[in-house]
Structure 1
C-alpha cells in the first residue's frame, strides 16, 4: 500500500515538472505584446535562474488550494491555477537571484550550481532579476490567461503587496539590518518574527490566497486559508534557519552556517534550537487546525505543512 507521504512526494514532483514546462514556455526568445526584442543573453540568464529544478512549493500551494475549493478542476481552471502559480514562482526566482548577489547574501551556490552572478556576471544577474519581476506582473495582467478582470486585479495587487515594501523586499531589508549592516542592533523576538513574516512568509501566504482568488472563494474560507498560509510561511523560515545550522551543503545545494558567520540574529539564535523546533511544531498545528472542516480533500495541503517543517532540502 502506498503511504500518504509517498503520494504527496509523487504529487509534488508531478506538479513541479508541469510548472517547469509552463515556465520554459514563458522564457523563450519570442516577443509578446509590445515587446521590441528579447536579448538572447538575458533570456539565457533568466532560464538559468528559473529552470534549475526546485520543489516549486509556492506553485504547488496555489494549485492545490484551487483544487480544494473547486467542485471540479476543469481544464480552464487548471490553466488559470498554473498561470498564477508560475507568476509567483518568477517572483520567487528573481528574489533568489538578488539575494545571492555580493551586496546581499553573497552566495556562490544555489541548488548545487553556481549562482547566476557567478555563472554570468553581476550586472546580468541584476537585470535578469528585474526582468523576471516584470514578466511576472505582465503575465498576471494579461487577459489571455483569465477573462475576469477582477480576478486578475486581485492577483496583481496581492502579489505586489506580498513581494514589495511591506512584504518580501521590506523583509530582506530588515534581514540585512539584523546583520548589523546599518548600525548595532538587538532585535526582539517580535522584531525577528515580523521580518520572517515579510521576507519569506508573505509570498508563501500569497500563494495560498492566490488559489482562493482563482476559485472565487468566499471570505470565511479565505480567512481560514490565510491562517494556514501565514503559519506555513513563518514555519518555513524557521525551518530554513534550523537547516542553516545543522544541514549540509550537499543536502541543501548551497553553503551552510552563513547566518552565524555574518553575525545574523535569527529566531533560532535568540530562543535556542529546541524552542525553535517547538515553535515550528506549534505553527504546524495552527496550520492543520485551519484546515479542519475541509475533509480529506485537503490532505495534500496538510502534507505540505508537514513537509515544510520536516524537510532536509
Structure 2
C-alpha cells in the first residue's frame, strides 16, 4: 500500500526549491503563496497541478481559502530578515513584517508543524534576540514549542557552503520526538565536479583544467535585492571567493565558454549553472529574463536541505517516506 502523503501550505514560495524538497519528503501543497509574478509562473511551469496564489503573505486571509486550515505543515523560505539596526531600509521593515505574518498565520491555520527558513543569524545572533523571543512567546500562546538550528547545505550533498537558519515548531507529543537530520557521510561535490561537463559543452579546451582548480564547494550564492543592482555573484568578498575557484563573479553569463575562450581565463556562470549549484534538477525550468531568473535561483532554498528536514518532520507526523536523504 502506498503510504499516505501529508499536506502543506507554502508561503514566500519563490521558485519552488523548498516546495520541491518537501514534495520529495512526502508533502503535497494545498496552496503556494508568492508575490513575484515570474516566480509564480515558474511554479506553474513545473507543477501545473499546484495551486499558486500571487499575493503578499501580509494580505493573505485564510478565511477566504478554508481548505488551508489544519494542514500538516506550514512552510516558508522567508526573505532574509535584517537586524533592528538596519530596519530603516524599506525592504528590512517588510522582511520583519513577513516573519511576523508567518507567526500570525500559524495562529489562524493551526498546522501540525511549522518550518521556516531564514538567515543563520536569526538563530544565533544576539542582534535577533528580540525577534526570537517574540516568535517563541507568540507560538507558545497557541501551544507550539520551537526548535532552532543552523544547517550547512554542503552537509546534505549540495555543492555549496550555504548556512541556513531553520525554525521547526510543533506541539507535544510530536515536538519531543523531532530530531534534526544528520549530515551526510559523503563530502559535498565540488564546483568543478558539478560543472565540468557544462563548461566543456561548447568546446572550451580549458574545461577540464578549470574543473580541477574548482575543487571546493561554492560559496553561498547570493540572489541580490530587487531594489538594486543586476545579476552577479555577490559582494566583493564573495567575488574573491569565486575567483579562487576560477569563476568571474562580476556578472552572470549568457552562455558557456566556446572553443575560442582562452584556456586560462575565468568563465562566468550562467543561470542554469547557478541552478545546478543550488541542486535544482535539470528538468526544473524558470520563467523570466536573466536577472529575474538569477534572483529566483539565488534566493531559493536548496531542495536537498528542505527534503532532509521535511523527512524528519514527516517521520514525526507519522508518514513513511521513500528511501532517500535523512
TM-score by length of 2: 0.29
Structure 1 or 2: more helix by fraction: 1
| Structure label with greater radius of gyration | 2
Structure with more contact order per residue of length (Cα contacts < 8 Å, sep ≥ 6): 2
Structure 1 or 2: more strand by fraction: 2
